[in-house]
Copies of this chain bind each other. A is one copy, B any other.
Amino acid sequence: MSDTTERGRRMSEELNPGMEAALDARYGHLLPGMAEGVVDFAYGRQYGRPGLALRDRYIATIAALTALGGQTRPQLKVNIAGGRKAGLSREEIAETIWQMSLYGGFPAAINALNAALEVFEEEDQNAQS
């Protein structure tokens, strides 16, 4: 196993426990090795790189998924939740999204705010239970 795969696996298990196994269970029969590729590239060679704090990486991702529009909504929600764990406040996330009205337009920004509200409501529900 290469160093980047190892680093990616450690990080992915910390941020999204069980993700690699879930990807492999769902897509592995069609795309053998795909789950490992995601772990190696997305985590080992991107999120796990030094040079930019994890919190900052989430700002970048939330901004981009907002600007790209609603088709990335499931991933947007995952990354908003990830950004919360990496230390972003709700306000910082809302500001990141709303600023995107300048670049991706108002509909994209409003749709992403709705995704954020859903994540925050789930947080509140989990906190109560």
Chain B residues in 8 Å Cβ range of A117 = 26-27
Interface SS of A by simple majority: helix
**How far is A60 from B56 in the complex, measured between Cα atoms in Å?**
9
Instruction: Report the Cα distance A27→B105, complex, angstroms.
Output: 17
A64 touches B61 (CB 8 A): no
B41 near A91: Cβ-Cβ < 8 Å = no
Closest to A3 in B: B2
Decide: A57 and B105 in contact? CB cutoff 8 A: no
Is A85 an interface position by the 8 A CB rule? no
Whether A82 sits at the interface, judged by CB under 8 Å, is no
Q: Is A122 an interface residue (CB 8 A)?
A: no
State the A residues within 8 Å of B (CB).
1-2, 4-5, 26-27, 30-31, 33-34, 37-38, 40-42, 45-47, 49, 51-52, 56-57, 59-75, 90-92, 94-96, 98-108, 110-111, 113, 116-117
Which 6 residue pairs are nearest across A and B when measured between Cβ atoms? Answer: A70-B71, A2-B2, A60-B63, A52-B95, A69-B71, A64-B67
